[in-house]
Amino acid sequence: MASKRANEELPVIARFEVRRRNYLAPDGSIDRPLPAFATDPKLLVELYRSMVLLRLFDRKAVALQRTGRLGTYAVSLGQEAVSVGIASAMREDDVLLPSYRDNGALLWRGVKLEEILLFWGGDERGNQFSGPVHDFPFCVPVGSQAPHAAGVAYALKLRKEPHVAVCMFGDGATSKGDVYEAMNFAGVHKLPLVFVATNNQWAISVPLRLQTGSETLAQKAIAAGFSGEQVDGSDVVAMRAAAEEAIAAARDGKGPHFIEAVTYRLGDHTTSDDALRYRSAEEVQAHWKEEPIARLRSYLVGQKMWTKADEEQLAAECHERIEAAVERYLTTPPRRAETMFDNLYADLPEAYAAQRRELAGEHDA
């Protein structure tokens, strides 16, 4: 606490608090009256379907990796509610700046499954995706997209466009100076910018307590002079509600907001990782109780919005969609080597054109 040590007789000049949002309890019961959008069964079902698709797609991607047909891949297992909930609250004209683990958000925004596979398969064409043309590609250097988000939001504000930038990153990213610098700038200019930190408790093997001494990640917004809140990140209703409010407020000129989505990474960090090296199976097991898909399913089933037949049909649909995408991915013609020079500059300078020709197997006269 900022005042922990200050003499009690000194006057308090500023007070802050952090609230926590959740609606669905882990067992699918209701902890708090649901927000308005949740009265629409269609939307809830759509959120559910997206999370299921994401989970099944992740599973397939890992299988592809294990059989040498895909590179390193990062699953969303246990965190599906975050990226899906956030993306579902965005408009197409809003701008997404995702991390490498935010597949769910890209899918919601229209990026094709095979495009995501192309990216993780080591092909830049995966970044030339069918999602909104202004959206950013996955960001691999952790947190380094946060200053871009501030630049995007500044541009939106400068042009008086009613759009909002949404920047997603992990708990690890909140330790990075660039993320802080971006937040601080967003605070100065009250930018239309929502930061979403997916607090899945781990940055590879580094647990949250070694990442920061702060009680919450939400309170990091206090340093930048704007609001932050903690959200149950395994509750897609809470994620969507938090995003909806924050994005609407940002669109309204009320400035930035920080959402800490508290969840848990049930899978390995990536396919290159073996999480059992640094955390126990029991710990992971315990968190399975909270995971977002079963939680929403319980609610939907309880509300008679979802049946076993629906579930079976969904599985079949997803399977088909995924297999078709994998097929398209695997049959995508390879890029010619010399295309690595394409889009290096708008026009390739002569100094490098010769290298391109060499690579193409042409030889200079």
Ligand X SMILES: Cc1ncc(C[n+]2csc(CCOP(=O)(O)OP(=O)(O)O)c2C)c(N)n1
Name the site residues for its own copies (rule: CB under 8 A).
Answer: 1-7, 9-21, 32, 175-181, 184-190, 209-216, 218-230, 245-246, 249, 254, 257
User: What is the spatial distance between Cα 179 and Cα 137, in angstroms, rounded to a whole number?
Assistant: 17
Which among 271, 269, 318, 270 is positioned nearest to 68, based on CA atoms?
271
**CB within 8 Å of 237: residues ≥ 6 apart:** 23, 24, 34, 35, 38, 44, 85, 296
Nearest approach, Cβ of residue 247 and another protein (Å): 18
Nearest approach, Cβ of residue 188 and ligand X (Å): 15
Name the residue with the smallest CB distance to ligand X. Answer: 170
Residues 97-126 that bind another protein (CB under 8 A): 100, 119-125
Residue among 32, 66, 278, 352 flagged as catalytic? 278
6 is a site residue for another protein (CB under 8 A):
no
Residue with token string 């907001």:
257
Is residue 265 among the annotated active site residues? yes
Nearest approach, Cβ of residue 242 and its own copies (Å): 9
Report the sign of the C-alpha dihedral through residues 165, 168, 169, 175, in that order. Answer: positive
Note the maximum CA span of the chain: 85
**Triad 150, 153, 158: Cα angle to 5°:** 120
Residue among 265, 287, 295, 297 flagged as catalytic? 265
* Residue 26, binding choice from another protein, ligand X, its own copies, none, Cβ under 5 to 8 Å by partner class: none
User: What is the spatial distance between Cα 80 and Cα 53, in angstroms, rounded to a whole number?
Assistant: 10
Is residue 134 among the annotated active site residues? no
Residue among 55, 109, 240, 269 flagged as catalytic? 269
Residues 98-127 that bind ligand X (CB under 6 A): 101
Task: Give φ, ψ of 45 to 5 degrees.
Answer: -65, -40
Using CA atoms in the order 149, 150, 155, 161, what is the torsion angle rounded to 10 degrees?
Answer: 70
Residues 175-204 that bind another protein (CB under 8 A): 175-178, 181-182, 184-185, 188, 203-204
Which residues of this protein are in contact with ligand X, per CB under 6 A? 101, 140-142, 169-173, 198, 200, 202-204, 265, 269
